[in-house]
Amino acid sequence: MSNHGHVFAYLAADQDARLRDVAAGVGITERTAAHIVNDLEHGGYLTRTRVGRRNRYHINARRKVRTPRLAVMTTAQLLVLLLQALEQPLL
């Protein structure tokens, strides 16, 4: 899975996560995490709302996935699969 997918799944699981936490959880730099969040926001996959000194991320669950193979799925359907896969132990 790409770093974009990892960041997207991380924010779906914790919408109040700090970029520092996202970066550490995914294994990327904060700068890379910020670029990915910007990409996801500009792509319409999430919106960022300022709450005090922190950001809250809202996933656009109705957005269709742009990848041709998965174009029939919404982001909500994809996230269910991603989060289930991340919870499963590797064989």
- pTM for this entry: 0.80
- In order of their start, the domains of the chain are 3-87 (1.10.10.10)
Please count the helices (runs of H) and the strands (runs of E) in the chain.
Answer: 4, 2
Please tell me the distance from the alpha carbon of residue 77 to that of residue 91, in angstroms, as a whole number: 24
Look up tokens 């997207």; give the residue. Answer: 8
Q: What angle do CA 28, 30, 33 make, to 5 degrees?
A: 70
CB-CB contact of 75 with 59 (8 Å): yes
Taking only the tens of pLDDT, the chain with its 91 residues reads 789 988 988 998 899 999 999 999 999 999 999 999 999 999 999 999 999 999 999 999 888 887 777 777 888 888 888 777 767 554 4
